[in-house]
């Protein structure tokens, strides 16, 4: 049984596609791959997906190519630049642009949350 707390490449790709309300066919066509191959990727049936395919998917979704490479099991040698891992929050934020008011509200919430975290850990 898969560890539900550890994101997988397939799980992240499926989540991105669903959050953006896109069909397998639409994502596959935009990325230049077959729908069957995308379905295999989403099911984590592909052991070593092509870096070229991962790049096209990252470009289509507007997410980090290096993060997809890491999720696919590739070692990423670029140590100078931190790589953010895709997650539910990132997916939700990427699914639709925030309005300026929403950006301020999210920033204020994070500041409060982080401030509270520092106070309780002190």
Q: Which CATH topology does 9-87 take? A: 434 Repressor (Amino-terminal Domain) (1.10.260)
Question: pLDDT per position in the chain (122 positions), as tens?
Answer: 455 567 899 999 999 999 989 999 999 999 999 999 999 999 999 999 999 999 999 999 999 899 999 999 998 775 555 555 556 676 667 667 778 788 788 888 888 888 776 665 55
d(CA 87, CA 16): 9
- Predicted local distance difference test score (pLDDT) of residue 83: 54
d(CA 61, CA 48): 20
d(CA 50, CA 19): 24
Residue at token pair 């490449």: 9
d(CA 85, CA 116): 24
What's the predicted TM-score (pTM) here?
0.62
Query: What are the domain boundaries of the chain?
Result: 9-87
- Predicted local distance difference test score (pLDDT) of residue 108: 82
- Predicted local distance difference test score (pLDDT) of residue 119: 60
Give the DSSP letter of residue 83: -
């Amino acid at each position: 049984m898969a560890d539900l707390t550890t994101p997988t490449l397939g799980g992240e790709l499926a989540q991105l596609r669903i959050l953006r309300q896109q069909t397998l066919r639409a994502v596959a066509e935009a990325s230049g791959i077959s729908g069957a191959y995308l379905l295999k990727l989403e099911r984590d049936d592909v052991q070593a997906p092509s870096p070229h395919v991962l790049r096209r998917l990252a470009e289509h979704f507007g997410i980090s190519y290096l993060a997809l490479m890491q999720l696919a099991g590739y070692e990423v040698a670029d140590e100078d630049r931190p790589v953010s891992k895709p997650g539910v929050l990132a997916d939700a934020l990427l699914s639709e642009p925030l309005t300026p008011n929403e950006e301020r509200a999210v920033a204020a919430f994070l500041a409060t949350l982080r401030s509270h975290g520092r106070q309780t850990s002190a």
